[in-house]
Amino acid sequence: MKAFTLFALASFSLLPLGSQALPLNDDFTVLVDLTLASDYRTRGISQTQNDPAVQAGVTLAHSSGLYLGAWSSNVDFGGGLKTRQEVDYYGGWLWQATDAISLDVGYLKYAYPKESQFNQSEVYGILDVYGVKLAAYYSADAPGIDSKQSTLYRYVGYETELPYGLGLKLRYGEMDFKDPRLYSASGHGEEAYHEWEAKLTREVAGVLLGLSYIDTDLSKSQCISNWGFDDVCSATLVASVSKSF
């Protein structure tokens, strides 16, 4: 599931570098975002078995700060699971106090065709103060071992512009499953893990190039215990090419 940061697009001041919204009238605009990435990582975990992903999203934004949208990516969870697609639907409201201070709140629904047991919803809030972001996403119907359970993902991040047209994005997050799901080789179970990302971006010829370093504090045995593989939680570099219009 995608860490919900890309979707906070109701204010043009939050759009990625080089993006151009399509105005429908004085109140409504549409943003279309296309991405090709070497891996689809969310909350530090690969959703494509470390393979490339093609992603697309569309957001309808109102001048009041309200927005609705949808986003999709290919996925591959292995283990004979049939789903090959994630489709996210979202809606929210972004309050812009100043150009540097905003609050984004909303609802997000994840859907996985052919594997509906993975479907879930989240409510989220993102506070942005001069590039420092504090965010939380809560789910009451996340997939559990025997039944649905509650989860909480939260992170602190920072975004800024560097010289030579570079952008920098930093994030440190915690994913809390509320119940033990991460088991070490000794059999000890933990209910939370940490993940982090450092990303550089640069606009070239109208597209946004990105390079991320992503890692978690999960051991291989903990990774296998919850995701079935030992290499979808480890450190990696992810390259991406995005175009927004």
Half-sphere CA count of 186, side-chain side, radius 13 A: 3
* Residue 8's pLDDT band (cuts 50, 70, 90): very low
pLDDT grade for 11, boundaries at 50, 70 and 90: very low
Between these two residues, 97 and 5, which has the higher pLDDT value?
Answer: 97
Instruction: Determine the distance from the C-alpha atom of residue 215 to the mean position of all C-alpha atoms in its chain, rounded to a whole number.
Output: 15
Report d(CA 176, CA 154) in Å as an integer: 9
pLDDT at 20: 63
State the Cα–Cα distance between residues 154 and 220, nearest whole angstrom. 23
- Report the C-alpha gap between 150 and 141 in whole angstroms: 6
Spell 180-211 as b/e; 16+ CB within 10 A means b.
Answer: ebbbeeeeeebebbebbbebebbbeeebbebe
Computed over every residue of the chain, the mean pLDDT equals 91
Tokens of 64: 């009041």
Task: Please count the other Cβ atoms lying within 10 Å of the Cβ belonging to residue 69.
Answer: 24
Whole-model pTM above 0.85?
yes
Question: Can you tell me the mean pLDDT for 222-238?
Answer: 97
Contact indicator for 239, 211 with CB cutoff of 8 Å? yes
Distance, in Å, from the CA atom of 68 to the CA atom of 30, rounded to the nearest integer, reads: 10
Lowest mean per-residue pLDDT among 21-35, 112-126, 155-169: 21-35
**Region of poorest pLDDT, from 3-17, 94-108, 210-224, 227-241:** 3-17
Burial group, residue 134, by CB count within 10 angstroms (0-12, 13-18, 19+): middle
pLDDT of residue 144: 80
Q: Yes or no: say if 34 and 55 are a contact pair by the CB < 8 Å rule.
A: yes
- How would you label 90-115 residue by residue, b for 16+ Cβ within 10 Å and e otherwise? bbbebebeeeeebbbebebebbbeeb
Q: Is the pLDDT of residue 6 over 50?
A: no
- What is the predicted pLDDT for the residue at 96? 95
In the chain, what are the domains?
A: 12-244 (2.40.160.40)
The predicted-structure confidence for 116-152, as pLDDT tens digits, reads as follows 999 999 999 999 999 999 999 999 999 986 778 999 9
Query: What angle is formed at CA 241 by the lines to CA 236 and CA 243, rounded to 5 degrees?
Result: 145
Contacts of 242 (CB under 8 A, 6+ apart): 16, 33, 34, 35, 36, 207, 208, 210
Strands 182-183 and 189-190, how do they pair? antiparallel
